Amino acid sequence: MKKNLFIVIAMAVSTLVSCNKPQPASDEQVINNIMTRVSVRQFTGERPSDEQVQTLLRCAMAAPSAVNRQPWAFIVVDDPALLKQIGDSLPNTRVQNNAPLCFVMCGDLSKTMEGEAQEFWIHDVSACTENLLLAAHSMGLGAVWCAIQPNAERIRKARQILNIPDNLIPLCIVPVGYPAEQPAVKDKWKEENIYHNRFE
């Protein structure tokens, strides 16, 4: 009797523990999310919740980085006056199209490796950006990757508006909100972009 009770308790505990582990989504859900993401450049103005913003940041920070240096910093901008300045000065960011907030995705040069390996920050922050775009899409939010780096003038403007310190370099700005447009999914499959083994 005691033994049976022990087994039941052990099974209950093991079920609870496994429920707390992050469960991977099914292949189909993950692949469908990747294949249906599109850039959204028009927003309703409705603000994503704080929990959604937190999840997006968690997903960005889950990205791989060279030697796991995580040389990044993310500025969440939701102050209407700052959003207006960004939209006016950097119209390529689409923030002026009713975006309730945007993420400024930065590299942190104080956390990078030395020498030529310093350039890995661009790869690392790009990985964060793609993670954030895919997470936003999975939550029914729209977003678009808007280039700041390597354009010196855009970097200067972003620095000036947000008072960004010298060690941070803004790579891109990602406005996020509820979509006010439903762009068609693009078919980008091109067989001619694939090569096998070595070039003779």
Ligand X SMILES: Cc1cc2nc3c(=O)[nH]c(=O)nc-3n(C[C@H](O)[C@H](O)[C@H](O)COP(=O)(O)O)c2cc1C
Contacts (CB under 6 A) with ligand X, residues 24-83: 38-39, 41
Nearer to ligand X, 75 or 134 (CB): 134
Q: Residues 162-191 vs ligand X: string with x where CB under 6 A?
A: ---------------------x--x-----
Q: For residues 10 and 35, which CB has a smaller minimum distance to ligand X in the complex?
A: 35
Q: Please report whether residue 137 would count as binding ligand X according to CB under 6 A.
A: no
Give 70 or 126: the residue with its C-beta nearer to ligand X.
Answer: 126
Query: Hey, how many other C-beta atoms are within 10 angstroms of the C-beta on 153?
Result: 10
Check binding of 122 to ligand X (CB under 6 A).
no
Q: Does 144 bind ligand X (CB under 6 A)?
A: yes
Residues 84-113 that bind ligand X (CB under 6 A): 92, 94
The residue among 110 and 182 lying less far from ligand X, judged by its C-beta, is 182
Min dist. Cβ of residue 185 to ligand X (A): 8
Name the residue among 105, 113, 120 with its Cα closest to residue 155.
105
Q: Does the footprint of ligand X cover residue 146 (CB under 6 A)?
A: yes
Q: Is 155 in the site for ligand X (CB under 6 A)?
A: no
Residues in contact with ligand X by CB under 6 A are 38-39, 41, 92, 94, 144-147, 183, 186
